[in-house]
Amino acid sequence: MSDHLRLGVNIDHVATVRNARGSAYPDPVRAAKLAEEAGADGITAHLREDRRHISDADIEGLMEALSLPLNFEMAATEEMQAIALRHTPHAVCIVPERREERTTEGGLDVARDENRLAHFIAPLAEAGCRVSIFIAAEPRQVEAANRIGAAVIELHTGAYCDAHAEGRFEERDAELERLREMAGFAHSLGLEVHAGHGLTYETVGPIAAIPEVRELNIGHFIIGEAIFLGLTPAIAEMRRLMDAARG
Ligand code: PXP
């Protein structure tokens, strides 16, 4: 197993700032190019049904401008499937989506929706996209993701990060243990393991240290930190912490 832990930089919240004023700036495609120069291994963007941050034009711009692989996050809807099939990004990550949520609050319940999801992802995989499923660290979700033919699972680190931020350290450590176990379990089934959601400089280390995890997708914290440090140093610091944890 290659030990390089990839960093996918999620640029959604550059678009959030742009959309707050309905202006043309800051441009998420420019952020993606800068992230590329700063050492990101991939770019992640979530085209939400309500287009609250990333727009259809952003996806087109990213597909044109990027030499890095694009990880296109989307809900399992026909509209999004058609968009993904039009662009055939390197990877497609299927996430749950509810309009009223502030962010992707939980993992996808693959176990409950197995048949539909198996049919949903098949054309995406046939078109050459690596299909990833965003799930909580639960054995039945890992098993279901494997059964439907996903190539990758992305483990939701939100519960671990929230418990850390709120000082619930026992819960944090229990969640970290679940993440470790599920990374090992998924890897043993032949799934590639990614992780992300809510990661910060404080929380990234133990996740980066999980040997089966091959990629982290990180956005909100990096974009926030870029306000103070600039985007390139904010990414470089995340990279440094990932490498230190891995080493
Ligand atoms: N991974 C997935 C599947 C996500 O949906 C998100 C949020 O869009 C992230 C990673 C990145 O989370 P954050 O912006 O909290 O770093």
Asked whether residue 199 is domain-assigned, the answer is: yes
Give per-residue pLDDT as tens, 185-208.
999 999 999 999 999 999 999 999
Residue 156 lies inside a defined structural domain of this protein = yes
The ligand 1 atom at the shortest distance from the C-alpha of residue 199 is 16
The CB of 93 under 6 Å from ligand 1? The reply is yes
Q: Is the CB of 157 under 6 A from ligand 1?
A: no
d(CA 36, CA 33): 5
Query: Helices in the chain by DSSP H: which ranges?
Result: 12-21, 28-37, 56-65, 78-87, 114-126, 139-147, 158-165, 169-188, 204-208, 220-229, 231-246
Domain for residue 187, yes or no?
A: yes
Ligand 1 center–CA 229 separation, angstroms: 21
- pTM confidence score: 0.96
Q: Residue 196, SS3?
A: strand
**How far apart, in whole angstroms, are the C-alpha atoms of residue 129 and residue 92?**
6
**Alpha-carbon gap, residue 154 to 217, rounded angstroms:** 9
Q: Which residues contact 106 (CB under 8 A, 6 or more apart)?
A: 96, 136, 156, 158
- What's the rounded mean pLDDT across residues 155-184? 98
In a domain, 184, yes or no: yes
Range of the domain at 117: 6-246
Is the CB of 104 inside a 6 Å radius of any atom of ligand 1? yes
* Sequence letter at residue 246: R
Query: Cβ(191)–Cβ(150) under 8 Å?
Result: yes
Asked whether residue 211 is assigned to any structural domain, the reply reads yes
Q: Which atom of ligand 1 is nearest to the CA of 132?
A: 3
Angle at 246 between CA 245 and CA 247, to 5 degrees: 95
Residue nearest to atom 6 of ligand 1 (CA): 197
CB distance 215 to ligand 1 below 6 Å: no
Beta bridge partners of 156: 196
Query: Would you tell me how many other CB atoms lie within 10 Å of the CB of residue 204?
Result: 24
Q: What is the arithmetic mean of pLDDT over 58-72? A: 97
How far is the CA of 53 from the CAs of 8, 28, 49, in angstroms?
18, 10, 10
200, part of any domain: yes
Asked whether residue 108 is assigned to any structural domain, the reply reads yes
Between the CA atoms of 106, 107, 112 and 117, what dihedral angle is there, to the nearest 10 degrees?
A: 130
Residue 63 has pLDDT above 80, yes or no: yes
Q: What spacing in Å lies between the alpha carbon of 111 and ligand 1's midpoint?
A: 21
Measured CA to CA, the distance from residue 237 to residue 145 in angstroms comes to 33
- Residue 150: how many CB atoms within 10 A of its CB? 26
CA distances for 179 relative to 11, 93, 105, 139, angstroms: 25, 18, 17, 10
Summary mean pLDDT of the chain: 96
Active site amino acids = 46, 73, 197
CATH number of the domain residue 179 falls in: 3.20.20.70
The answer to the question of residue 1 being in a domain is: no
- Report pLDDT for 98: 76
Question: Do 182 and 137 form a contact (C-beta atoms < 8 A)?
Answer: yes
Confidence (pLDDT) at 52: 93
Q: What is the pLDDT of residues 31-54, one digit of tens each?
A: 999 999 999 999 999 999 999 999
Give the mean pLDDT of 202-227.
98
Q: Does the beta carbon of 203 sit less than 6 angstroms from any atom of ligand 1? A: no
What pLDDT sits at residue 189? Answer: 98
Name the domain count of the chain.
Answer: 1
Q: What would the pLDDT profile of 84-135 be if each residue is shown by its tens digit?
A: 999 999 999 999 987 666 766 779 999 999 999 999 999 999 999 999 999 9
**Residue 195 · residue 212 · CB < 8 Å:** no
